[in-house]
Structure 1
Amino acid sequence: MSYKAPVDDMSFLLKNVFDVQQQFDGISQYQDFDYDLYNAVLEEGAKFAENILYPLNRDGDEEGCQHEGHDVTTPKGFKEAYQQFCEGGWQGINGDPEYGGQGLPKALHVLVEEMLYASNTSFTLYPSLTAGACSALAAHGSDVLKQTYLENMQSGVWSGSMCLTEPHSGSDLGILKSKAEPNEDGSYKISGTKIFITGGEHDMADNIIHLVLARLPDAPKGPRGISLFLVPKFMVNDDGSLGERNPVFCGSIEHKMGIKASSTCVLNFDEATGYLIGEPHRGLACMFTMMNKERLSIALQGVGLADVSYQIARQYAEERIQGRSSREGKQGASILEHADVRRMLLSMRSVTEINRALAVYLGMNIDLDEHATDIETKQKAARRVALLTPIAKAFFTDSGFENCNHGIQVLGGHGYVREWGLEQFARDARIAQIYEGTNGIQAQDLVVRKVCADKGAAITELFDDISETIKQSSDSDFKHVGVSLEKHLSVVKELVSVLLQQNEEQGAAMQGGAVEFLNAVAYVIGGWLWLKQLLASNALTELEQKRKLAASEFYYDHLMPRIEGYAQSIKNGYHLTFALDDELV
């Protein structure tokens, strides 16, 4: 079974659904770009994903990373593929042109990332962390740090890592213990242990640039006392050449359920030389620049694995003959004729295609937030990115894992054994619901910081845009879809009022409904994006129009009704559950 990157659907989203170049009108960085360029990038990305990365995926999972002494070796073929990746300019595709990046839109980059994750998730995590480190350094680093490190990182010659978690400190970063002692030359001595560090040590890049959270001697307690430091694996000489080894070493690698070809390291910092990024005690704010980009990247892991699982399950279902056909003239039936198999395949495709659409929409708003000159456009985009990032991270990865499970079920026993690859996709997908902030934390972030904090203003602004699309559909062949969307939207609007009231009356107990609220919002956004695709579907071939319509009808008939169940559960409230004594839970 093979993976085929969905380039046509990606191009349809960029050009016909969102018309990103029209959205970017007035942004000087993007004025020389056009859809021919975007299509060329997608085509080349597809070739790399399909022909280079996908063939390494299963072998990389079976071989895994090897740790000996302080060194980590990646699986056979990974180092060569990484060199091709860098030579192709893929690492810096969205990077700052001032430091060697290509400066292409994030709206395009998200689609390339989806292909990479679909074809080889373990491999893709290395450049993903590097891209996130570049974004934090570009936004908060001094000119000296950017000039010293950024170009080599954007080219992939040097890679990056994000060092937050400690053995005693997971999501609660306020209790981390790593220390930073000032040196006379303005640098710092960084000491401490970090765990679960993706790409913390490997053999593919000449240097690894760690972004590390640590405390200065005078740091106040809690999250407000954290600073961010750049700590290179090898020191960099004044002429740009690599110098002596910095005392940051890999103590071990984790033996994991999935992503086995991604080196997940325990890193020990023994008075390693580091350099302050941003202001003292403002490290968490700086790191969140990187973390928010990583949350979108991990969301795309969910989309990529969902799509490759669908593709293989669809191919298998068409070829697998079981039972007698109900169709005249056919001897045997493929399981594609079975109702339950069709239910699973349509569920997989209908969610994956709206998640891909939301990724492009979110990427486009990141572009507008970073580059728009009109202040109102910029501010609205920033609000939209803040609102949608936790939704994308949680919903894409939850539904991605569900898709992998559906894929296994379609293949039956063949899905459970290694031969077809589905069991690896499920193992690789599972971690995405945990790292970069668990999906429960994403839901709490949405409810507490993005809805209750502004009394529902940002989400109401989104609902207004959805209502505008419903109005546009009133004179189309899809008026009935708009009517259905309006009904579901009204339910979710009511939930905002319910949550605001529960927040006043019940306090933290209302967070028990956060995951259900996030899912309800995600499904109504999906309905909106299906309507937008249907309104643009005259640009598609007749067959593709029919496929879009079929998937959207399934989504509206069988997935959006989940909103009603979420709504009733949220209205029931969690105050009684929250009030239970611990021994009753």
Structure 2
Amino acid sequence: MPVYNPPLRDMQFVMHEVLKVADEYKAMPRHAETDADTINAILEEGGKFASEVTFPLNISGDEEGCKLNQETHEVTTPKGFKEAYAKYVEGGWPALSCDPAFGGQGLPITVNQCFYEMLNSANQAWTMYPGLTHGAYEALHAHGTPEQQQTYLPKMTSGEWTGTMCLTEPHCGTDLGMLRTKAEPQADGTYKITGNKIFISAGEHDFVSNIIHLVLARLPDAPQGSKGISLFIVPKFLVNADGSLGKRNGVYCGGLEHKMGIHGNATAQIVLDGAVGTLVGQPNKGLNAMFVMMNAARIGVGCQSLGLTEVAYQNALAYAKDRIQMRSLSGVKAKDKPADPIIVHPDVRKMLLTAKAYAEGGRALSLYCSLLIDRELHHPDEKVRKESEEMVALLTPIVKAFLTDNGHIATNACMQVFGGHGFIKEWGMEQFVRDNRINMIYEGTNTVQSLDLLGRKVLGNNGATLKKFGKLVGKLVEEEGVNEKMAEFINPIAYLGDQMTKFTTELGFKAFQNADEVGAASVDYLRVMGHLVFGYFWARMAQVALKEIEAGNTDPFYQAKLQTARFYFARLFPETATLMRTARAGAKSLLDTEAALA
């Protein structure tokens, strides 16, 4: 059976020693009283909930899956899931970072991010039920009318109701401009919505009394394409004026997808049969409102893979220390045993360190983005809010795509550490691989994220935001450029930072001549950019660790951080050279291939 220990020490290191979040929060009136002790105490309890309540349900939930009653259209979740959710609500966890105006605790997004990383390590399938609600909450909080907010947000904040995002249709996934679901205006100001949606995570379940679907649909006179999409609230049960539940709405689960992973989550086919809905925001402007939800979900998906990378690493490390196999090439290490523990073998260490480096680098990036969101929402200086929003927009596709790609690499590597046992279900490793695989696909495939990064976020504003991130790198290089002990961390990011300007300009010029050049280069480009961002945070973490060691701190945590940083820059960061070469190879070798793909 697998194990999970919440990585509280590393979370505290990133928040308090690298990002210094408590100092940041002093500048934000809402969070001015949030100090390190408060954050640590909350996360310690959150870690207990994840490891003691949801983690024990992970394998059993995967084996049992969800069951649909075709007559009633009701879904039964795996044994223990509903009870775990009741404990989640009882503990006040849904309200952690929600607005106090609607019953929330008003804590920073950063705290919620740490909590959700632990939940995703413990049980991604279960975590997706409350996780989707956060996105729906954010969309309504940003774009709902006061009446809609008062009707839905208090119960979503408390966890009494959950939410979904209903986008995908059988004939279109990411290309939302092709959707066909119709919304017919009614005399009372509501709409009758008819259509079919698929792949709706947590679309039907037995946790709560009402599920609030946010549905994209098309008005009768809507323009074609993505400019003719509107967003609607479609509750499972209609809500009376006094807040009580009314009659069953015309929205139901027509089927459950049979999936490779996340079996414990109900991925529903949703049928809308004249369902009553209310408009969110302006007609034909639904994507503006939905993007609030989608961007939150994209960061959340990166967090899912971060969680799986961490738990896979923990189990592979424990196994590698215990499993004996062959002798070390440099001589016997365990004289009292018939063979050495496999952790002595260099390639086993490479697999373990790959997962560790990607987990800890991903944690630093995701918490930095959470801090940026806290600044964007609550900093009193408008300039700081605007710049934070801009930086989050640049980094969101990297969080989603780079962390999930790395999760795929890491969970597979950790399964490999187990050898044949990794392929066996009882160890839990193959489930981490299966569960993670969806993260590279949904909320916009990683190719879509790459196109968004290069085409819109970088070339779309002539690299202006990229230059701002470059200034962060430049500032660190200037601080530590003459420190010989930091050279192995600073020199690589200084070199790549200089290269990025030329690299980006070159791709932009080629794309101006042929737009397919963006599609040919974007996936490699995102991965290069991902390593620049990771390299920046690994250098900052190494900087803190070195200062602690030089000050006489003998905590082995700091030596471990330095050793992992050295591995990252020696073994993973150099991938950028190959990626830049393949990105520069251009579109011709991909598109001039009619004979090859005939």
Aligned equivalents of 1:416 and 1:576: distance in 2? 37
What is the identity, as a one-letter code, of the residue corresponding to 1:152? Answer: K
**Aligned position for 1:565:** 578
Residue 581 of structure 1, CA deviation: 3.2
**Aligned position for 2:569:** 556
**Aligned position for 2:101:** 98
- Post-superposition Cα deviations, 1:43-101, rounded to whole Å, max 9, x if no partner, equal 01110111011100000000000001201000000000000111111112111110011
The percent identity for this pair of structures is: 43
CA contact (8 A) 2:308 2:411 kept: yes
**Aligned position for 1:458:** 465
What is the identity, as a one-letter code, of the residue corresponding to 1:14? Answer: M
* Secondary structure, aligned partner of 2:326: strand
**Aligned position for 1:493:** 501
Residue 582 of structure 1, CA deviation: 7.3
**Aligned position for 1:533:** 541
**Aligned position for 1:510:** 518
- After superposing on structure 2, the runs of 4+ consecutive aligned residues of structure 1 that deviate more than 6 Å are none
**Aligned position for 1:165:** 168
Which residue, out of 210, 233, 247, partners 1:244?
A: 247
Which residue, out of 276, 286, 291, partners 2:289?
A: 286
Aligned pair 1:259/2:262, yes or no? yes
CA contact (8 A) 1:216 1:227 kept: yes
> Which structure 2 residues correspond to residues 109-188 of structure 1 after superposition, within 5 A?
109-188=112-191
Aligned pair 1:300/2:303, yes or no? yes
Residue 577 of structure 1, CA deviation: 2.3
**Aligned position for 1:439:** 446
Aligned residues: CA RMSD: 1.3
> Which structure 2 residues correspond to residues 254-403 of structure 1 after superposition, within 5 A?
254-324=257-327, 326-327=332-333, 329-331=335-337, 332-403=339-410
- Post-superposition Cα deviations, 1:402-436, rounded to whole Å, max 9, x if no partner, equal 11100110000000010100000000000000000
CA contact (8 A) 1:160 1:211 kept: yes
- Post-superposition Cα deviations, 1:14-68, rounded to whole Å, max 9, x if no partner, equal 1110011222332111012111110011101110111011100000000000001
Residue 328 of structure 1, CA deviation: 7.1
CA contact (8 A) 1:452 1:503 kept: no
Residue 330 of structure 1, CA deviation: 4.5
Aligned equivalents of 1:511 and 1:490: distance in 2? 24
What is the identity, as a one-letter code, of the residue corresponding to 1:359? Answer: S
Residue 536 of structure 1, CA deviation: 1.6
CA contact (8 A) 2:455 2:518 kept: no
Aligned equivalents of 2:157 and 2:319: distance in 1? 40
* Secondary structure, aligned partner of 2:41: helix
* Secondary structure, aligned partner of 1:62: helix
Aligned equivalents of 1:20 and 1:438: distance in 2? 32
CA contact (8 A) 2:451 2:519 kept: yes
**Aligned position for 1:524:** 532
Residue 491 of structure 1, CA deviation: 2.6
- Post-superposition Cα deviations, 1:279-302, rounded to whole Å, max 9, x if no partner, equal 000001100000000000010011
Aligned equivalents of 1:172 and 1:324: distance in 2? 54
What is the identity, as a one-letter code, of the residue corresponding to 1:26? Answer: A
Aligned pair 1:47/2:48, yes or no? yes
Aligned equivalents of 1:14 and 1:567: distance in 2? 32
What is the identity, as a one-letter code, of the residue corresponding to 2:10? Answer: D
Residue 329 of structure 1, CA deviation: 4.2
Residue 541 of structure 1, CA deviation: 5.0
What is the identity, as a one-letter code, of the residue corresponding to 1:348? Answer: A
Aligned pair 1:192/2:200, yes or no? no
Aligned equivalents of 1:581 and 1:276: distance in 2? 46
Aligned equivalents of 1:228 and 1:185: distance in 2? 18
* Secondary structure, aligned partner of 2:47: helix
Change (3 A) 1:480 1:413: closer
Which residue, out of 400, 406, 413, partners 2:420?
A: 413
Which structure 2 segments of 5+ residues have no match? none
**Aligned position for 2:217:** 214
Residues matched between the structures, number:
585
Aligned equivalents of 1:564 and 1:60: distance in 2? 42
- Post-superposition Cα deviations, 1:225-257, rounded to whole Å, max 9, x if no partner, equal 000000000111111111110111110000100
Which structure 1 segments of 5+ residues have no match? none
With normalisation by structure 1, the TM-score equals 0.98
Identify which range, 103-112 or 314-323, moves more after superposition: 103-112
CA contact (8 A) 1:53 1:116 kept: yes
With normalisation by structure 2, the TM-score equals 0.96
CA contact (8 A) 1:492 1:567 kept: no
Residue 7 of structure 1, CA deviation: 0.3
Residue 485 of structure 1, CA deviation: 2.1
Aligned pair 1:32/2:33, yes or no? yes
**Aligned position for 2:11:** 10
CA contact (8 A) 1:506 1:575 kept: no
* Secondary structure, aligned partner of 1:322: coil
